[in-house]
């Protein structure tokens, strides 16, 4: 929506501002709102938790605690675009820190998948 190139990292800050506006509008109406983003920074996660809290909406966190090799393999299998190996390695490293922080953060429910095979059988029921 912000850039014609989905791999344009220069558009990230503006994209997250737009995401916050959209999330606010949905949460204010108490609509199910799914933020499909890596959100490796605690401050970013906190901002969205606070937004949901403002409207009394429970926050459920779903995280993927996989090996760096698994993330790389998934990246290589993406049909739309593949990001650089260095980006995947950096995110995998930062994901370990994020995974350690999640239990200390205020979520109504926290689900951490550690086995890629378990994701295929997972479902969410409201």
Within 10 angstroms of residue 48's Cβ, the number of other Cβ atoms is 21
What does the pLDDT look like over 19-42, one tens digit per residue?
Answer: 999 999 999 999 999 998 888 999
CA 5 to chain centre: 20
pLDDT given for residue 58 in this prediction: 96
Domain boundaries, the chain: 10-116
Residues 10-116, CATH architecture: 3-Layer(aba) Sandwich (3.40)
Model's pTM, two decimal places? 0.85
Contacts for 1 with CB less than 8 Å, ≥ 6 apart: 15, 18
């Amino acid at each position: 929506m912000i850039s014609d190139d989905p791999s344009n990292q220069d558009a990230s800050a503006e994209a997250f501002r737009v995401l916050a506006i959209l999330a606010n509008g949905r949460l204010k109406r108490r609509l199910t709102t799914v933020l499909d983003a890596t959100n490796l920074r605690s401050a970013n996660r906190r901002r969205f938790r606070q937004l949901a809290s403002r409207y009394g909406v429970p926050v459920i966190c779903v995280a993927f605690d996989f090996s760096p090799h698994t993330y790389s393999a998934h990246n290589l299998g993406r049909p739309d675009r593949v990001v650089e190996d260095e980006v995947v390695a950096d995110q995998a490293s930062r994901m370990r820190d994020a995974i350690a922080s999640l239990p200390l953060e205020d979520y109504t429910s926290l689900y951490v998948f550690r086995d890629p095979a378990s994701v295929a059988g997972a479902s969410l029921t409201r």
